[in-house]
Every structure is written in structure tokens, then in C-alpha cells.
Amino acid sequence: MKNKIIIIFCTLIVFVFALNVLRYQKNKDYQKRGSLLIDKIETFRQLEKRLPNDVKELGLEEPMNDGPYYERKNSVTYVVFFNIGFDNTIIYYSNKKEWIYEP
């Protein structure tokens, strides 16, 4: 009986660990994909001396899945974000230059 409890407990620990590793990998993938868009936005800003109004000005199409999406906030700041599931979002804030996970 004691061995079964130990096996179940260890299995749960491994399962939770695996889920966290998968989530970490997925978030890194989002950030990598988002960084490609950020590079295009920053290149546009350097060349045109302004932010693009939308991704079409970058020669891209609006994505139809989880993202990355671009939103110009004002003349100097923008966000790049991914919608994950129903309520979760990973957002890059240009003024902070960092990614934030918002559940």
C-alpha cells in the first residue's frame, strides 16, 4: 500500500513538472515568433520615422489564429500579443521592452 502511494505521488510530480516544461517551451515559442514581428516594426520605425498603423504596412496579413497581433497605442508605443485560450495573453510592451504573461 505504501509503495502504491509513493508511485502515485511520484507520477503526479513528474506530470506537473512536464506540464510546466511544456508551458515554458510554448511561451518561448510565442516570444520567438513575436520577436520576428517586433524586429519588422522597429525596422519600419527606423526607416519611416513612425510606427506602422497596422501589420499591412509591414507587408503582412492579420493572423487568424493565436497571433502575433500588433496594436499601435500611440505615436511611440505599441504592443505585440498572443491570445492563448479564452482568457490568457502574452503581451510585449514596447515601452517596457518585456513580455508579460497575463492570465
**How many Cβ atoms from other residues are within 10 Å of residue 39's Cβ?**
10
Instruction: Choose among 83, 93, 86: nearest CA to 63.
Output: 83
3-class DSSP assignment, residue 78: strand
Residues 73-97 have pLDDT tens digits of 999 999 999 998 788 899 999 999 9
> Is the per-residue pLDDT at 24 higher than 90?
no
- Which pLDDT does position 58 carry in this prediction? 96
32-66 confidence digits (pLDDT tens): 999 999 999 999 999 999 999 999 999 999 888 88
* % of the chain at pLDDT higher than 90: 56
Domain range annotation of the chain: 2-102
Mean pLDDT of the chain: 91
